[in-house]
Amino acid sequence: MDGGLLVALSCLLIIITYAWMKFVKTGPVFKNDLEIDGKTVLITGGSYGIGKETALQLAKRKARVIIASRNEQRASEAIFDIKSQSGNDMVHYMKLDLSDFADVRRFVRNFIDTEPRLDILINNAGVAVPGMTNDGNDIILATNQLGPFLLTNLLIPLLKSSSDSQHVRIVNVSADLYTIGKIDFGNINLGLTKESPYQQIIQQYSNTKLMNVYFTTELNKRLRSEDPENSSISTYALHPGVIASELGTGAIHNTLMKVGHLILKACFMRPLFYGCQTILYCCLQKGLKEKSGGYFSNMRMRQLKAVATDSETGLKLWKVCEQMTGLTKEEDYFAKSD
């Protein structure tokens, strides 16, 4: 082979490898070392995956971190790890099943009784498995969208009262899969079973990620309508990247698909540390207030695809979520603030 061609190919390989490591396998890092002692963070699904990694990074910044999770044993193990690695003892567990609306209400009552403030709410928990809840809802829909919708609405009064030193934030972990999501109001509750194909499970997961985006933009409109110039709460949706987590693996039963997932995980999925960087950015970056309601990826605000920009769909989804969660006028902060 010609020496010049060999050098050129070697340089191309180096460039491709660098780009792959920087933008696919790793990604940007939030380098702000801001300490947020005195601030309280609530993160759902914080006992594993990017939720646990995010909780660790915030604990290192001296925040009081509350991990909300269904699995007490797993959460206890996560808290032990986080305390050990961060040196922060202000990491605590509160049991929460987002798919059970009665449990969401119980959780909020307990949280308000025991926690005097809430500065950052991170709606991170998500599932991609088939099944139905005790309320008769699709478990993906209930866990990924309906539960966070109810939780956020019930916590808004506490978030409002905590905005004494800087604006508080609601961060919704979505995904770029929102771009293939669909919201069929006539069949929003698909009711997937164990026999449902994996493709249907991923479609419903994508649907809920689209709902997360609409929830964020509609919530921002409601917050801004109260005080257009100086709302104390900002809200953001984001794509953390394709992360090497356990999400969705429980729904893979085909051996070939399992092997394919392992290859994909090894070659293209980001480690958890890089997966939490955009979450940290949305939680901590200064100067984001004017970008409230935005969608972020790789620590940059992105323009939403058309599928996520219909204001009528956002309003209708809000009303459907109110109905499905049974949000009452007494609970509804926005109804009382009209």
Q: For the chain, what is the total number of helices (H) and then of strands (E)?
A: 12, 8
Q: Give CA–CA dist 159/185, Å, rounded.
A: 30
Positions marked active-site: 205
Alpha-carbon distance values, 318 to 77, 217, 302, 315, 323 (Å)? 36, 11, 23, 5, 9
The region that residue 57 occupies, defined by phi over 0 for left and psi between -120 and 50 for alpha, beta otherwise, is: alpha
- Cα angle 331, 280, 296; round to 5: 80
297-327: burial string, b at 16+ Cβ within 10 Å, e else: bbbeeeebeebbeeeebbeebbebbbebbeb
Q: Give CA–CA dist 205/248, Å, rounded.
A: 9
Looking from the CA of 291 toward its CB, the CA atoms found within 13 Å total 19
**In the numeric block, which tokens belong to residue 216?**
């964020």
What DSSP line would sit under 238-252, residue for residue?
EE--SB-SSTTGGG-
Q: Give CA–CA dist 83/55, Å, rounded.
A: 10
What DSSP line would sit under 162-228, residue for residue?
TTTSS-EEEEEE--GGGGG----TTS------TTS-HHHHHHHHHHHHHHHHHHHHHHHHHHHHH-T
Looking from the CA of 64 toward its CB, the CA atoms found within 13 Å total 10
